Amino acid sequence: MSVAKERWKALEKDIDDFIKYINAIPDKAHYQPYQHDIDWYQRIVGDATEIIKLISDSDQIEKAIKLNHSDQMFISKLPNHLSKVKSLFNKYFADYTRYVITKTDDSLAHLQLMITIGDEQYRKNWDWGHNENHYEKFGAAQFLLHRIWSFKACASKSRTDLILIDAIGEEYSNIRELAEKTFVLTEWKKYDKSKKSLDKLIQDAVGQINEYVSPHLHKFPFEPVCYLIIVSEKSHKKEIEQIEISINSNQKKPKIKIVNIVCKPNTPSQQ
């Protein structure tokens, strides 16, 4: 995501320069564009197209970027046309974090619903008897159903589940196209109250997330939206809401959301 945003900032400056150049033309309505003008515009379209490949839900932007340069009014239309493209890109990047959070929330809500009402095999996959690594793997599969990647990434001192398309490897190229360019850092924890308090489990996990984001994973091109997913036998959502978390990252400050996935939830008729 950050890679796309950085490229957009460079392209935005190029668009601003082009608009300034066009607006300086005295009689745009009768101006016949030089090849230089057309080449400049086509370079902007090409760069915008490359950025679109890096982002998701971009159909509206893709439709907006192209303008027929053989149109007699091509030059006079360009300032408004490119301003619209700028507006769409800027709106997209402003809304992206909210989009990622909504998409991830939907995936986890779907997971909890399937544990509650799904078939027997699905419920067995999320039975309380499994270890933490098992839940991480099946959680990754659940994210993939929602076109979100979730795989292991290693840093010098830490490991985590990282939704990071470009780090997956060519062996996954046959399904790579199914995924959207969505980056979320996740930490899965199994909560057993006989081994550790919930508060201690969460504070330790937040400390790990801070370590991942700063300094070890700051080089990765994602905006640090982080999910701490607590897998428990019974619901602890009310207790989780009462726990305050501290964030000590000095570089990229992550937004941390805590979600409780319950292995033995009450059925709808019991709630």
Token pair for 8: 């957009």
pLDDT tens for residues 50-102?
888 877 666 777 777 777 666 667 788 888 889 988 988 888 777 766 777 88
pLDDT tens for residues 215-240?
555 444 445 678 899 999 999 998 98
| pLDDT value of residue 266 | 78
Does the structure show a pLDDT above 50 at 140? yes
pLDDT tens for residues 102-119?
888 999 999 999 999 988
Does the structure show a pLDDT above 60 at 164? no
Mean pLDDT of 170-175: 41
CB 60 within 8 A of CB 90: no
Alpha carbon 27 to chain centroid, angstroms: 45
| 3-state SS class at 228 | strand
How many angstroms separate the CA atoms of 163 and 161, rounded? Answer: 7
| 3-state SS class at 154 | strand
Name the pTM for this structure.
Answer: 0.60
| pLDDT value of residue 222 | 46
What 8-state DSSP symbol labels residue 267? P
**Better pLDDT: 59 or 6:** 6
CB 151 within 8 A of CB 140: yes
Phi-psi region of 147 (alpha: psi -120 to 50; beta: other; left: phi over 0): left
Give exposure, 99-124, as e/b (b: 16+ Cβ within 10 Å).
ebeebbeebbeebbebbbeeeeeeee
Helix (H) or strand (E) holding 151: strand 151-154
Most distant CA atoms of the chain, gap in Å: 80
Does the structure show a pLDDT above 50 at 143? yes
| pLDDT value of residue 1 | 47
| pLDDT value of residue 258 | 92
| pLDDT value of residue 101 | 80
Q: Which long-range contacts (CB under 8 A, 24 or more apart) does 22-29 make?
A: 22/75, 22/78, 22/79, 23/79, 25/75, 28/75, 28/76, 29/73, 29/76
